[in-house]
Amino acid sequence: MPQVLSMGELLVEVMRPGVDEPLDRQGTFVGPFPSGAPAIFIDAVARLGVSCGFVGVVGDDPFGRCVLNRLTRDGVDVRHVRLVSHRTTGIAFVAYRSDGSRQFVFHLPQSAAALLSPDDVRKEYLEGVRALHITGSALAISDSAREACYRAVRLCKQRGGMVSFDPNVRPELLGVEAVQALCEPVLASCDVLLPSGAEATMLSGDTDEETACQKLVASGIPIVVLKRGAQGCSVFTDQLRAEVPAYPVNEVDPTGAGDAFAGGFVVALLRGMSVQEAARFASAVGAMAVTRQGPMEGLPTLSQLESFLCSR
């Protein structure tokens, strides 16, 4: 049985190989690369040597097999990933800009991933789960996927497990109030919150990032980790406020770095590290993740991570 569980969208990414090649022009692509925020998270956990599983839905097609083969190879239990023949696996087309931003075209709401439902969340599968990871993207795919996540959170907490939450929802698509309503049931049970600055202010209603994180801790969330990308992260608890710098690396592809960081942070907590130690561990995982093109391609094994840390 898995110690760590994640759920939500499974997809592939097809991307431009260089920068400033917009998606509205003819050009070349590379891929498909296995992806999806909760999938990147769980693959990071698996490669770090922790037993883990995934709950989701993919199309019974080549892209679905691409994702499942990768997760299986890295040690993720995919027995609870349902295959369907009437919808295709999700695809994200990605282009990179020279200013560091990215352009995406998704079709997730119409993909197999949106068929995730509460019936896919089996009680017995959560019996030994020590940590459940939920992403805002999974909450936003469909009503049934959202209810599946809520059910998993309830079952995890009933069994004494930890819930981590990365609220990566785009408010410009749904509206701030709608996003807050989606996230509230997870926030109420959350043990570890991993927001960006914009997400922290959106969820707290405060305009200052640090005040927002402190407000979220005061609301009852034990650990809030503010992700700042190349600027590192800030850790907040009711007794701690600490800055943890990022590890400088040659960035090739930033997609999935935050999900890799979240996977590293959860693994570190399960290994008994302090919050600050966990943040440093997670920062190293996130740094290594961006050094190769493709959201899962740079994820390190535990031995690779230890070698990276020893060289710093």
pLDDT tens-place string over residues 206-232: 889 999 999 999 999 999 999 998 899
What pLDDT is stored for residue 239 in this prediction? 92
Q: Would you call 259 a catalytic residue per the annotation? A: yes
- Pick the range with the lowest mean pLDDT from 50-64, 165-179, 252-266, 279-293: 165-179
Phi then psi dihedrals of residue 223, to 5 deg: -130, 125
Classified as helix, coil or strand, 45 is helix
CATH placement of domain 4-310: 3.40.1190.20
Average pLDDT of the chain to the nearest whole number: 93
Asked whether the beta carbons of 177 and 191 are under 8 A apart, the reply is: no
Segment 151-169 shows an average pLDDT of: 95
Quote the CA–CA distance of 117 and 144 in Å, as a whole number.
5
CA-based torsion, 145, 143, 88, 21: positive or negative: negative
Q: Which of 43, 191, 253, 259 is catalytic?
A: 259
Lowest-pLDDT choice from 43-47, 138-142, 178-182, 241-245: 178-182
Name the pLDDT band for 170 (thresholds 50, 70, 90): low
Distance CA 13, CA 181 (A): 29
Mean pLDDT, to the nearest integer, of 138-158?
95
Tell me, what's the pLDDT at 257? 93
- Which DSSP state fits 159? T
> What is the mean pLDDT of the segment spanning 40-52?
98
Domain residue ranges of the chain, discontinuous segments joined by +: 4-310
Residue with tokens 């990605």: 94
Q: Return the pLDDT at 233.
A: 94
CB-CB contact of 33 with 45 (8 Å): no
d(CA 55, CA 156): 14
| pLDDT for residue 172 | 47
| The 90-96 sheet, strands edge to edge | 30-35, 11-19, 90-96, 102-106
Whole-structure pTM value: 0.94
